[in-house]
Structure 1
């Protein structure tokens, strides 16, 4: 099995073993880029539990995830095994209410925070 195949298998295990997975630069507590930080903020604001995978600490995932998802940038959000998008898509979906609706349709409870 090639390194790429092994890495694809590990990616599948992550997204199959967790309802929400965010492949990001850094960790949810200490994001290493603004886009990752913004995506963490949106998910935290909705009160959903998610697993952060630090691509900076895992060069194989960093190298092969773009090919796996056919998406060129990080972060990458997966919900119930399905690729949702990167920072801009997540932010736009959140602002339109589409993200909350999508999560609820997937059986994930969302905390609706009052608009500030």
Structure 2
């Protein structure tokens, strides 16, 4: 069960950043291929984004799975809405639908 404190923390991160990435590692040093792919896509769009390394916070890592009902990482939020993971972001980008979402 997601604690109220953790839920508030997650909601604050998501609402205070237009683009919020929950990834394994950092944008400079992604710790998995999926996180690396997502960072590369968002870097190519040229819009500022914020990220959290979920490997540094086990409570947050578990909490994000409950919060989003999505079991894997990365998890991407745009304008406070859960978009999905790596495959969904890749598909949106390939179809040209991601860039307008982050403008």
* TM-score, normalized by the shorter chain, greater than 0.5: yes
Q: TM-score, normalised by structure 2?
A: 0.94
- Relative to structure 1, the CA distance from residue 4 to residue 93 in structure 2 (aligned partners, 3 Å threshold; closer, same or farther) is same
Deviation at 1:3, TM superposition (A): 6.4
Q: CA deviation at 1:62?
A: 0.3
- Residue of structure 1 in register with 2:21 after alignment: 22
Give the superposed CA RMSD.
1.3
Question: If you compute each CA radius of gyration, which structure gives the higher value, 1 or 2?
Answer: 1
* DSSP 3-state at the match of 1:22: strand
> What are structure 1's unaligned runs of at least 5 residues?
109-116
Q: Which whole-Å CA distance do the structure 1 matches of 2:2 and 2:10 have between them?
A: 12
The runs of 4+ residues in structure 1 deviating greater than 6 Å are: none
Structure 2 gaps, min length 5: none
1:34 maps to 2:33: yes
